[in-house]
Structure 1
Amino acid sequence: MSFRSALVLGACLLLAACNKVNQENFSKLKTGMSKTEVEQMLGAPRECAGALGFTSCTWGDEKTFISIQFAQEQVLMFSGSGLK
């Protein structure tokens, strides 16, 4: 294996290990948590949308994600899919 191939493989493994969208972090979510607390745990969301004090944000991609609904910047409910 060339040095370049080893470097790319190592980078991929490191990125996979740093994925914060996982079952462990999903289990830590609680209703009433602030949006700031969630972002400290999961990082910045991929997308958010909302109106009238309600916001829905998603972390991850189409296959592996955590979706959280906030009311007044606090977790109201959450769901996930494809988590390991």
Structure 2
Amino acid sequence: MKKLLTIAALLSLSACSKVTIENYEKISVGMEKTALEQVLGSADSCEEKTLHTNCVWGNESKNITVTLVSDRVTLFSKKGF
């Protein structure tokens, strides 16, 4: 029974993922970080560089990667869709 509940919880979390093609298509160059987070939620990881920040939503097999400069989208890509 415990395994069944764990599996159900994992499935519900993956079903709620905001890493979808529909949300990817809502991203645009120049979009502010706050608007981006309204679409995708908080990033799973961000790495700050000297002049930009790279953020990733999702995992190794399926993700959306966004490069931000001054808290605005400059580049974005998808993997696993």
Same-fold call, TM cutoff 0.5: yes
1:16 and 1:47 mapped to 2: Cα distance? 17
Aligned to 2:68: 70
Q: What is the CA-CA distance between 1:5 and the residue it aligns to?
A: 5.6
Q: What is the CA-CA distance between 1:9 and the residue it aligns to?
A: 4.3
1:7 and 1:63 mapped to 2: Cα distance? 25
2:56 and 2:49 mapped to 1: Cα distance? 12
Gaps in structure 2 of 5+ consecutive residues: none
Structure 2 counterpart of 1:27, which letter? E
Is 1:42 the counterpart of 2:51 in the alignment?
Answer: no
Summarize deviations over 1:26-58 as a string: whole Å, max 9, x none.
011111111111112111112212223x11111
Aligned to 2:31: 33
TM (norm. structure 2) is 0.82
CA RMSD of aligned residues (A): 1.6
Distance 1:27 1:9, change over 3 A: same
1:41 and 1:11 mapped to 2: Cα distance? 23
1:8 and 1:31 mapped to 2: Cα distance? 39
Query: What percent identity do the matched residue pairs reach?
Result: 39
Structure having the higher Rg = 1
Mapping 1:2-13, distance limit 5 Å: 4=2, 7-13=5-11
Gaps in structure 1 of 5+ consecutive residues: none
